């Protein structure tokens, strides 16, 4: 039987404090808990982002070394032209597409757009212009370059539109189809005007109109609450 040292009320054996005056109950016979000692070398947790960036840096170094070696070999032995530029531009395109997104902490659409555009233009230029015939060079300037720039412009407009404010996933899908529709018209016009490919413009118009009709259907589904509910019940969208 124990009593409170402050008010003298009888206490339960398992009480930690007095029920009347809230005075803590201290039992001098109770053994003290051993203090936990911290480990000498606490375990460190590496964030997944840091691990991915480290792997990306290693891959970048692995890709950079053979490119430097090929470049200097080509400088001293130029019997077959500047073949190292083909290796360098191909590696640059692969690095931008596969490795660069893992280096940045947060994906930066405008920076990715700029790197992708420059790398694709450089890759196409060295493969179709350097050391090739005039017909191939003309094909690059009259067809490949306008198509690359048009795709880049459409992608840039889409990025600006998405970044302007938060968009629903359905609106983003509609934006992608609109971009494909615009690029279909442009591709058909460029191929018909520069390469004189038969029915290129007509095929581009058909593809563009088909995408436009699909956009109208998606807009109706997005605006109609009844249709959205039906799609949600049937295909869980």
pLDDT tens-digit series, residues 182-235? 888 888 888 787 767 777 778 888 888 888 888 888 888 777 777 767 666 666
What's the average model confidence in pLDDT over 165-176?
82
Tokens of 26: 């201290």
* End-to-end Cα spacing for the chain: 68
- In whole angstroms, give the CA distance from residue 207 to residue 202: 9
**Residue with more model confidence, 175 or 77:** 175
The predicted pLDDT at position 156 comes to: 92
- In whole angstroms, give the CA distance from residue 227 to residue 218: 10
Q: Give yes or no for a contact between 237 and 231, defined as CB atoms under 8 angstroms apart.
A: yes
Classify 103 as helix, strand or coil: helix
Taken as a whole, the chain contains a residue count of 237
Classify 10 as helix, strand or coil: strand
Report the run of H or E that residue 194 belongs to, with start and end.
helix 169-194
Q: Give yes or no for a contact between 18 and 7, defined as CB atoms under 8 angstroms apart.
A: yes
- In whole angstroms, give the CA distance from residue 161 to residue 218: 18
Q: Give yes or no for a contact between 52 and 102, defined as CB atoms under 8 angstroms apart.
A: yes
Residue 178's CB is within 10 A of a number of other CB atoms, namely: 20
The mean-pLDDT minimum among 3-12, 30-39, 100-109, 166-175 falls in 30-39
Q: Name the range with the highest mean pLDDT among 46-55, 113-122, 225-234.
A: 113-122
What's the average model confidence in pLDDT over 76-103?
76
- pTM higher than the cut 0.75: no
The predicted pLDDT at position 153 comes to: 92
Task: Provide CB contacts within 8 A for 147, sequence distance 6+.
Answer: 186, 187, 190
- In whole angstroms, give the CA distance from residue 190 to residue 179: 16
The predicted pLDDT at position 1 comes to: 62
Q: Give yes or no for a contact between 147 and 197, defined as CB atoms under 8 angstroms apart.
A: no
| Average pLDDT across the chain, whole number | 77
Task: Tell me whether residue 53 is exposed, middle or buried, using C-beta atoms within 10 angstroms of its C-beta: 0 to 12, 13 to 18, 19 or more.
Answer: middle
- In whole angstroms, give the CA distance from residue 26 to residue 122: 80
The predicted pLDDT at position 7 comes to: 76
pLDDT tens-digit series, residues 125-148? 877 776 566 666 777 788 888 888
- In whole angstroms, give the CA distance from residue 212 to residue 216: 6
The predicted pLDDT at position 49 comes to: 62
Percentage of the chain lying above the pLDDT 70 cut: 80
Query: Which among 60, 80, 57 is positioned nearest to 68, based on CA atoms?
Result: 60
């Amino acid at each position: 039987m124990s009593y409170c040292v402050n008010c003298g009320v009888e206490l339960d054996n398992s009480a930690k404090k007095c029920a009347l005056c809230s005075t803590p109950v201290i039992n001098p016979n109770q053994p003290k808990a051993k203090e936990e000692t911290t480990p000498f070398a606490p375990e460190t947790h590496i964030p997944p982002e840091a691990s991915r960036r480290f792997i990306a840096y290693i891959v970048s170094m692995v890709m950079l070394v053979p490119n430097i070696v090929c470049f200097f070999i080509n400088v001293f032995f130029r019997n077959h032209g500047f073949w190292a530029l083909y290796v360098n531009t191909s590696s640059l395109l692969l690095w931008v597409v596969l490795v660069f997104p893992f280096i940045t902490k947060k994906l930066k659409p405008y920076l990715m757009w700029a790197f992708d555009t420059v790398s694709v233009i450089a890759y196409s230029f060295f493969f179709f212009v350097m050391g090739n015939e005039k017909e191939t060079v003309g094909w690059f300037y009259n067809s490949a370059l306008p198509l690359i720039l048009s795709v880049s412009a459409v992608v840039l407009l889409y990025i600006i539109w998405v970044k302007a404010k938060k968009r629903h996933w359905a609106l983003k899908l509609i934006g992608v189809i609109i971009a494909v529709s615009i690029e279909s018209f442009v591709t058909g016009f460029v191929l018909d005007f520069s390469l004189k490919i038969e029915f290129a413009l007509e095929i581009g118009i058909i593809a563009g109109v088909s995408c436009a009709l699909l956009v109208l259907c998606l807009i109706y589904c997005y605006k109609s609450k009844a249709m959205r509910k039906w799609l949600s019940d049937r295909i869980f969208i």
